[in-house]
Protein backbone atom coordinates (compact mmCIF):
# COMPACT_ATOMS: atom_id res chain seq x y z
CA UNK A 1 0.00 0.00 0.00
CA UNK A 2 1.27 3.46 -0.82
CA UNK A 3 1.50 6.02 1.93
CA UNK A 4 1.52 9.80 1.97
CA UNK A 5 3.95 11.44 4.31
CA UNK A 6 3.23 15.12 5.03
CA UNK A 7 2.79 17.32 8.11
CA UNK A 8 3.14 21.02 8.84
CA UNK A 9 1.37 21.46 12.17
CA UNK A 10 1.59 24.58 14.27
CA UNK A 11 4.93 25.46 15.85
CA UNK A 12 3.35 25.88 19.28
CA UNK A 13 1.81 22.41 19.16
CA UNK A 14 4.63 20.40 17.63
CA UNK A 15 7.81 22.39 18.24
CA UNK A 16 8.82 22.05 14.61
CA UNK A 17 8.20 20.11 11.42
CA UNK A 18 8.43 16.33 11.22
CA UNK A 19 11.06 14.79 9.02
CA UNK A 20 8.55 14.30 6.25
CA UNK A 21 6.66 17.54 6.80
CA UNK A 22 7.99 19.85 4.15
CA UNK A 23 5.40 19.62 1.45
CA UNK A 24 3.13 22.45 2.56
CA UNK A 25 5.82 25.11 2.77
CA UNK A 26 8.29 26.33 5.36
CA UNK A 27 10.48 23.23 5.28
CA UNK A 28 12.82 24.08 8.13
CA UNK A 29 14.71 27.08 6.79
CA UNK A 30 13.83 30.75 6.52
CA UNK A 31 12.10 31.88 3.37
CA UNK A 32 14.55 32.46 0.59
CA UNK A 33 17.23 30.15 2.03
CA UNK A 34 19.18 27.88 -0.28
CA UNK A 35 21.64 28.34 -3.07
CA UNK A 36 21.40 30.93 -5.78
CA UNK A 37 19.95 30.03 -9.16
CA UNK A 38 22.36 28.70 -11.77
CA UNK A 39 23.38 30.97 -14.60
CA UNK A 40 20.92 30.66 -17.45
CA UNK A 41 18.28 29.00 -15.23
CA UNK A 42 14.61 29.33 -16.19
CA UNK A 43 12.76 32.34 -14.76
CA UNK A 44 11.34 32.28 -11.23
CA UNK A 45 7.83 31.44 -12.43
CA UNK A 46 9.17 28.29 -14.14
CA UNK A 47 10.86 27.19 -10.90
CA UNK A 48 7.64 27.89 -9.01
CA UNK A 49 5.70 25.74 -11.48
CA UNK A 50 8.15 22.87 -11.02
CA UNK A 51 7.95 23.13 -7.22
CA UNK A 52 4.15 23.28 -7.29
CA UNK A 53 4.08 20.12 -9.42
CA UNK A 54 6.58 18.45 -7.07
CA UNK A 55 4.61 19.41 -3.97
CA UNK A 56 1.32 18.27 -5.52
CA UNK A 57 2.81 14.90 -6.47
CA UNK A 58 4.37 14.58 -3.01
CA UNK A 59 1.08 15.32 -1.26
CA UNK A 60 -0.77 12.83 -3.45
CA UNK A 61 1.73 10.10 -2.64
CA UNK A 62 3.25 9.93 -6.13
CA UNK A 63 6.85 9.86 -4.92
CA UNK A 64 8.34 8.79 -8.24
CA UNK A 65 6.92 11.86 -10.00
CA UNK A 66 7.73 14.11 -7.03
CA UNK A 67 11.31 12.84 -7.02
CA UNK A 68 11.77 13.78 -10.68
CA UNK A 69 10.36 17.25 -10.13
CA UNK A 70 12.42 17.97 -7.00
CA UNK A 71 15.56 16.80 -8.78
CA UNK A 72 14.76 19.22 -11.59
CA UNK A 73 14.17 22.06 -9.10
CA UNK A 74 17.50 21.43 -7.37
CA UNK A 75 19.30 21.57 -10.69
CA UNK A 76 17.97 25.12 -10.99
CA UNK A 77 18.46 26.17 -7.36
CA UNK A 78 20.96 23.88 -5.61
CA UNK A 79 20.74 23.74 -1.84
CA UNK A 80 17.09 24.80 -1.50
CA UNK A 81 16.06 23.51 1.93
CA UNK A 82 12.49 22.41 1.37
CA UNK A 83 13.16 20.76 -1.97
CA UNK A 84 16.18 18.94 -0.54
CA UNK A 85 14.31 17.53 2.45
CA UNK A 86 11.34 16.49 0.32
CA UNK A 87 13.59 14.89 -2.29
CA UNK A 88 15.36 12.92 0.43
CA UNK A 89 11.97 11.78 1.72
CA UNK A 90 11.04 10.67 -1.80
CA UNK A 91 14.27 8.65 -1.97
CA UNK A 92 13.34 6.96 1.31
CA UNK A 93 9.83 6.19 0.07
CA UNK A 94 11.31 4.83 -3.17
CA UNK A 95 13.77 2.63 -1.20
CA UNK A 96 16.87 4.59 -2.21
CA UNK A 97 18.04 5.03 1.38
CA UNK A 98 21.75 5.53 0.68
CA UNK A 99 20.90 8.12 -1.97
CA UNK A 100 18.84 10.05 0.60
CA UNK A 101 21.68 9.88 3.11
CA UNK A 102 24.27 11.14 0.63
CA UNK A 103 22.03 14.02 -0.49
CA UNK A 104 21.43 15.15 3.08
CA UNK A 105 25.06 14.88 4.13
CA UNK A 106 26.08 17.09 1.19
CA UNK A 107 23.37 19.59 2.03
CA UNK A 108 24.21 19.70 5.75
CA UNK A 109 27.88 20.34 4.96
CA UNK A 110 26.75 23.78 3.78
CA UNK A 111 23.69 24.17 6.02
CA UNK A 112 24.68 22.57 9.35
CA UNK A 113 21.81 24.09 11.35
CA UNK A 114 18.90 23.00 9.15
CA UNK A 115 16.69 20.97 11.55
CA UNK A 116 14.45 19.40 8.90
CA UNK A 117 17.43 17.92 7.09
CA UNK A 118 18.71 16.45 10.37
CA UNK A 119 15.29 14.85 10.99
CA UNK A 120 15.14 13.21 7.57
CA UNK A 121 18.74 12.05 7.94
CA UNK A 122 17.85 10.48 11.29
CA UNK A 123 15.08 8.57 9.51
CA UNK A 124 17.57 7.36 6.90
CA UNK A 125 19.96 6.13 9.59
CA UNK A 126 17.16 4.30 11.43
CA UNK A 127 16.19 2.59 8.16
CA UNK A 128 19.75 1.23 8.01
CA UNK A 129 19.84 0.23 11.68
CA UNK A 130 22.46 2.88 12.48
CA UNK A 131 21.01 4.02 15.81
CA UNK A 132 24.06 5.94 17.04
CA UNK A 133 24.18 8.31 14.05
CA UNK A 134 20.38 8.66 14.18
CA UNK A 135 20.60 9.74 17.84
CA UNK A 136 23.27 12.30 16.97
CA UNK A 137 20.98 13.86 14.35
CA UNK A 138 18.06 14.02 16.80
CA UNK A 139 20.23 15.65 19.46
CA UNK A 140 21.21 18.26 16.89
CA UNK A 141 17.52 19.06 16.35
CA UNK A 142 16.94 19.44 20.09
CA UNK A 143 19.82 21.90 20.39
CA UNK A 144 17.81 24.41 18.38
CA UNK A 145 14.25 23.16 19.05
CA UNK A 146 14.31 21.81 22.63
CA UNK A 147 10.56 21.17 22.87
CA UNK A 148 10.03 19.24 19.65
CA UNK A 149 7.89 16.32 20.84
CA UNK A 150 8.75 13.74 18.21
CA UNK A 151 12.48 14.43 18.40
CA UNK A 152 12.30 13.64 22.12
CA UNK A 153 10.19 10.54 21.52
CA UNK A 154 12.40 9.18 18.77
CA UNK A 155 15.58 9.91 20.70
CA UNK A 156 14.07 8.08 23.67
CA UNK A 157 13.11 5.17 21.41
CA UNK A 158 16.62 4.98 19.94
CA UNK A 159 18.17 5.19 23.41
CA UNK A 160 15.91 2.38 24.65
CA UNK A 161 16.87 0.20 21.68
CA UNK A 162 20.52 1.01 22.40
CA UNK A 163 20.06 0.04 26.09
CA UNK A 164 20.85 3.58 27.22
CA UNK A 165 17.97 3.49 29.68
CA UNK A 166 18.79 6.62 31.68
CA UNK A 167 18.86 8.71 28.51
CA UNK A 168 15.72 6.99 27.25
CA UNK A 169 13.88 7.89 30.46
CA UNK A 170 14.79 11.57 30.17
CA UNK A 171 13.55 11.97 26.60
CA UNK A 172 10.48 9.75 26.89
CA UNK A 173 9.33 11.56 30.04
CA UNK A 174 9.75 14.86 28.23
CA UNK A 175 7.79 13.59 25.22
CA UNK A 176 4.75 12.66 27.34
CA UNK A 177 5.01 15.89 29.32
CA UNK A 178 4.76 17.80 26.05
CA UNK A 179 2.10 15.49 24.59
CA UNK A 180 0.29 13.47 27.29
CA UNK A 181 -1.88 11.61 24.76
CA UNK A 182 1.09 10.01 22.96
CA UNK A 183 0.48 6.29 23.65
CA UNK A 184 3.82 5.01 22.37
CA UNK A 185 5.62 7.55 24.53
CA UNK A 186 4.02 6.05 27.64
CA UNK A 187 4.53 2.53 26.27
CA UNK A 188 8.24 2.87 25.54
CA UNK A 189 8.74 4.66 28.87
CA UNK A 190 7.08 1.66 30.52
CA UNK A 191 9.46 -0.69 28.70
CA UNK A 192 12.37 1.45 29.90
CA UNK A 193 11.24 1.19 33.52
CA UNK A 194 10.86 -2.57 33.11
CA UNK A 195 14.43 -2.79 31.82
CA UNK A 196 15.47 -0.84 34.94
CA UNK A 197 13.34 -3.19 37.12
CA UNK A 198 11.33 -0.23 38.38
CA UNK A 199 8.05 -2.12 38.15
CA UNK A 200 5.62 0.27 39.91
CA UNK A 201 6.69 3.05 37.51
CA UNK A 202 6.49 0.65 34.59
CA UNK A 203 2.92 -0.29 35.55
CA UNK A 204 1.90 3.36 35.85
CA UNK A 205 3.31 4.21 32.39
CA UNK A 206 1.80 1.17 30.71
CA UNK A 207 -1.57 1.84 32.33
CA UNK A 208 -1.43 5.34 30.91
CA UNK A 209 -0.67 3.87 27.47
CA UNK A 210 -3.79 1.69 27.54
CA UNK A 211 -5.88 4.58 28.86
CA UNK A 212 -4.92 6.55 25.76
CA UNK A 213 -5.12 3.54 23.45
CA UNK A 214 -7.14 0.66 24.97
CA UNK A 215 -6.29 -1.71 22.06
CA UNK A 216 -2.51 -1.37 22.49
CA UNK A 217 -1.47 -5.04 22.36
CA UNK A 218 2.12 -4.50 23.51
CA UNK A 219 1.09 -2.43 26.51
CA UNK A 220 -1.38 -5.09 27.62
CA UNK A 221 1.25 -7.83 27.32
CA UNK A 222 3.82 -5.89 29.31
CA UNK A 223 1.29 -4.80 31.92
CA UNK A 224 0.64 -8.47 32.67
CA UNK A 225 4.40 -9.04 32.89
CA UNK A 226 5.09 -5.99 35.08
CA UNK A 227 2.20 -6.75 37.44
CA UNK A 228 3.40 -10.33 37.85
CA UNK A 229 6.92 -9.17 38.64
CA UNK A 230 5.54 -6.72 41.19
CA UNK A 231 3.54 -9.49 42.85
CA UNK A 232 0.18 -8.07 41.71
CA UNK A 233 -1.09 -11.39 40.37
CA UNK A 234 -4.79 -10.55 40.15
CA UNK A 235 -4.06 -7.56 37.93
CA UNK A 236 -1.57 -9.61 35.91
CA UNK A 237 -4.24 -12.22 35.17
CA UNK A 238 -6.71 -9.54 34.10
CA UNK A 239 -4.26 -7.97 31.64
CA UNK A 240 -3.13 -11.38 30.41
CA UNK A 241 -6.75 -12.26 29.57
CA UNK A 242 -7.19 -9.00 27.64
CA UNK A 243 -3.91 -9.57 25.82
CA UNK A 244 -4.88 -13.13 24.88
CA UNK A 245 -8.16 -11.94 23.37
CA UNK A 246 -6.46 -9.08 21.51
CA UNK A 247 -3.58 -11.26 20.32
CA UNK A 248 -5.99 -13.70 18.70
CA UNK A 249 -7.61 -10.84 16.82
CA UNK A 250 -4.20 -9.52 15.79
CA UNK A 251 -3.28 -12.86 14.21
CA UNK A 252 -6.58 -12.95 12.36
CA UNK A 253 -5.93 -9.37 11.16
CA UNK A 254 -2.49 -10.35 9.85
CA UNK A 255 -3.98 -13.25 7.92
CA UNK A 256 -6.62 -10.96 6.43
CA UNK A 257 -3.98 -8.37 5.52
CA UNK A 258 -1.95 -10.99 3.67
CA UNK A 259 -5.02 -12.12 1.78
CA UNK A 260 -5.96 -8.55 0.82
CA UNK A 261 -2.43 -7.73 -0.36
CA UNK A 262 -2.48 -10.81 -2.56
CA UNK A 263 -5.82 -9.71 -3.99
CA UNK A 264 -4.53 -6.15 -4.57
CA UNK A 265 -2.00 -7.03 -7.29
CA UNK A 266 -4.31 -5.94 -10.09
CA UNK A 267 -5.13 -2.61 -8.41
CA UNK A 268 -1.46 -1.92 -7.75
CA UNK A 269 -0.61 -2.60 -11.40
CA UNK A 270 -3.30 -0.14 -12.49
CA UNK A 271 -1.72 2.41 -10.13
CA UNK A 272 1.74 1.83 -11.60
CA UNK A 273 0.30 2.27 -15.09
CA UNK A 274 -1.46 5.46 -13.95
CA UNK A 275 -4.84 3.95 -14.83
CA UNK A 276 -6.47 5.60 -11.85
CA UNK A 277 -10.18 5.00 -12.67
CA UNK A 278 -9.46 1.30 -13.12
CA UNK A 279 -7.43 1.21 -9.89
CA UNK A 280 -10.28 2.93 -8.04
CA UNK A 281 -12.80 0.40 -9.33
CA UNK A 282 -10.55 -2.45 -8.23
CA UNK A 283 -10.05 -1.04 -4.73
CA UNK A 284 -13.79 -0.46 -4.40
CA UNK A 285 -14.39 -4.10 -5.33
CA UNK A 286 -11.97 -5.13 -2.59
CA UNK A 287 -13.69 -2.83 -0.09
CA UNK A 288 -16.98 -4.59 -0.78
CA UNK A 289 -15.33 -7.87 0.19
CA UNK A 290 -13.45 -6.37 3.16
CA UNK A 291 -15.64 -3.48 4.40
CA UNK A 292 -13.82 -3.11 7.72
CA UNK A 293 -10.24 -2.84 6.37
CA UNK A 294 -9.16 0.78 6.78
CA UNK A 295 -6.16 0.90 4.35
CA UNK A 296 -8.48 0.17 1.42
CA UNK A 297 -10.47 3.33 2.16
CA UNK A 298 -7.23 5.28 2.45
CA UNK A 299 -6.22 4.08 -1.03
CA UNK A 300 -9.68 4.87 -2.38
CA UNK A 301 -9.55 8.37 -0.91
CA UNK A 302 -6.11 9.02 -2.39
CA UNK A 303 -7.29 7.92 -5.84
CA UNK A 304 -10.41 10.06 -5.57
CA UNK A 305 -8.20 13.07 -4.81
CA UNK A 306 -6.13 12.35 -7.93
CA UNK A 307 -9.33 12.14 -9.97
CA UNK A 308 -10.64 15.43 -8.57
CA UNK A 309 -13.49 13.78 -6.64
CA UNK A 310 -12.68 15.53 -3.40
CA UNK A 311 -16.04 15.28 -1.64
CA UNK A 312 -16.04 11.51 -2.17
CA UNK A 313 -12.43 11.40 -1.00
CA UNK A 314 -13.37 13.25 2.18
CA UNK A 315 -15.96 10.58 3.06
CA UNK A 316 -13.63 7.70 2.19
CA UNK A 317 -10.83 9.08 4.34
CA UNK A 318 -13.15 9.75 7.27
CA UNK A 319 -14.24 6.11 7.00
CA UNK A 320 -10.58 5.02 7.08
CA UNK A 321 -9.83 6.86 10.33
CA UNK A 322 -13.08 5.64 11.90
CA UNK A 323 -11.97 2.06 11.24
CA UNK A 324 -8.35 2.61 12.29
CA UNK A 325 -7.49 5.89 14.08
CA UNK A 326 -3.78 4.92 14.10
CA UNK A 327 -3.50 4.80 10.31
CA UNK A 328 -1.50 7.96 9.64
CA UNK A 329 -2.00 8.43 5.89
CA UNK A 330 -5.70 9.43 5.88
CA UNK A 331 -5.08 12.01 8.62
CA UNK A 332 -2.52 13.69 6.35
CA UNK A 333 -4.87 13.64 3.37
CA UNK A 334 -7.83 14.86 5.43
CA UNK A 335 -5.76 17.81 6.62
CA UNK A 336 -5.38 19.03 3.06
CA UNK A 337 -9.09 18.60 2.33
CA UNK A 338 -10.10 20.42 5.52
CA UNK A 339 -7.78 23.28 4.62
CA UNK A 340 -9.33 23.52 1.15
CA UNK A 341 -12.74 23.81 2.87
CA UNK A 342 -11.45 26.66 5.01
CA UNK A 343 -11.54 24.66 8.25
CA UNK A 344 -8.07 25.54 9.53
CA UNK A 345 -8.72 24.22 13.03
CA UNK A 346 -9.68 20.76 11.76
CA UNK A 347 -6.74 20.77 9.36
CA UNK A 348 -4.30 21.55 12.17
CA UNK A 349 -5.89 18.85 14.33
CA UNK A 350 -5.41 16.23 11.61
CA UNK A 351 -1.80 17.32 11.09
CA UNK A 352 -1.09 17.03 14.80
CA UNK A 353 -2.56 13.51 14.84
CA UNK A 354 -0.46 12.60 11.80
CA UNK A 355 2.66 14.04 13.41
CA UNK A 356 2.14 11.95 16.53
CA UNK A 357 1.65 8.78 14.47
CA UNK A 358 4.42 9.32 11.93
CA UNK A 359 7.42 8.65 14.13
CA UNK A 360 10.87 8.00 12.74
CA UNK A 361 11.12 4.32 13.74
CA UNK A 362 8.95 2.60 11.14
CA UNK A 363 8.40 -0.45 13.30
CA UNK A 364 7.39 -0.04 16.91
CA UNK A 365 9.54 -1.55 19.64
CA UNK A 366 8.81 -5.22 20.19
CA UNK A 367 7.16 -6.78 23.20
Q: How many C-beta atoms surround the C-beta of residue 315 within 10 A?
A: 13
Nearest Cα neighbor of 224 from 253, 256, 180, 194 is 194
Across the range 289-312, mean pLDDT stands at 92
State residue 251's pLDDT score.
Answer: 67
Query: Half-sphere exposure of residue 231, counting CA atoms within 13 Å on the CB side?
Result: 0
Between 76 and 42, the more confident residue is 76
C-alpha span between 176 and 63 (Å, rounded)? 32
What number is the average pLDDT over the span 145-166?
A: 92
Higher pLDDT, 224 or 4: 224
* Range name among 10-19, 68-77, 107-116, 129-138 with the lowest pLDDT average: 10-19
Instruction: Say whether 61 sits in a helix, a strand or coil.
Output: coil
Rounded distance, CA 339 to CA 113, Å?
Answer: 30
pLDDT exceeds cutoff 60 at 22:
no
Predicted local distance difference test score (pLDDT) of residue 12: 24
Question: In this model, does residue 94 exceed pLDDT 60?
Answer: yes
- Model pLDDT, residue 5: 33
Distance CA 146, CA 319 (A): 36
Asked whether 208 and 175 are in contact (CB, 8 A), the reply is: no
What does each C-alpha distance from 344 to 19, 23, 350 come to in angstroms? Answer: 22, 17, 10
pLDDT band at 263 (very low <50, low <70, confident <90, very high): confident
Looking at residue 252, its pLDDT comes to 67
Confidence of residue 214 (pLDDT cuts 50, 70, 90): confident
All residues at 6 or more sequence positions from 38 whose CB lies less than 8 Å from its CB, including other chains: 75, 76, 77, 78
Please tell me the distance from the alpha carbon of residue 308 to that of residue 191, in angstroms, as a whole number.
Answer: 45
Q: What is the pLDDT of residue 273?
A: 85
- Taking CA atoms, 109 is separated from 66, 120, 232, in Å, by 24, 15, 54
Kindly give the residue spans of alpha helices, DSSP state H, lying in 111-148: 115-127, 131-144
The C-alpha atoms of residue 361 and residue 78 are separated, in whole angstroms, by: 29
* Local confidence band at 99 (pLDDT 50, 70, 90 cut-offs): very high
Most confident by average pLDDT, 13-22, 35-44, 131-140, 258-267: 131-140
Q: With contact defined as beta carbons under 8 Å apart, do 362 and 127 qualify?
A: yes
Q: How far apart are CA 10 and CA 16, in angstroms?
A: 8
Inter-residue long-range contacts of 123-130, CB under 8 Å, 24+ positions, other chains counted: 123/19, 123/20, 123/89, 123/92, 123/360, 124/88, 124/92, 124/97, 124/100, 125/101, 126/154, 126/158, 126/360, 126/361, 126/362, 127/92, 127/97, 127/362, 128/97, 128/98, 128/101
CB neighbour list of residue 94: distance below 8 Å, 6 or more residues apart: 63, 64, 67
Task: Tell me what percent of the residues of the chain surpass a pLDDT of 90.
Answer: 52
pTM of the predicted protein model: 0.65
Q: Is the pLDDT higher at 180 or at 359?
A: 180
Distance separating alpha carbons of residues 204 and 199, to the nearest angstrom: 9
Domains and CATH numbers, the chain: 18-145 (1.25.40.10), 147-263 (1.25.40.10), 267-357 (1.25.40.10)
pLDDT tens digits for range 33-65? 344 444 454 556 688 899 999 988 887 778 899
Q: What is the mean pLDDT of residues 153-169?
A: 94
CA 114 to chain centre: 20
Amino acid sequence: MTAASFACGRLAALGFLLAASCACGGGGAPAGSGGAAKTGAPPAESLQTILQHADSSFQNGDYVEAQKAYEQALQIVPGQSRATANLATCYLKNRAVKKAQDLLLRFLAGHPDDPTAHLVLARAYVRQGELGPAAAELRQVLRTHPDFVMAHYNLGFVAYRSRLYDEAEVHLKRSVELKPDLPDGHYTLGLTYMALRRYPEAIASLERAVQVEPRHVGARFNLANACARAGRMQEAEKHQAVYAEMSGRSKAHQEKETQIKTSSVKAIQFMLDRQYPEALAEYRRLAESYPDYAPLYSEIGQLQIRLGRRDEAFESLKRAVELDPKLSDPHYLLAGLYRERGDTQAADRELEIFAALETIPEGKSGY
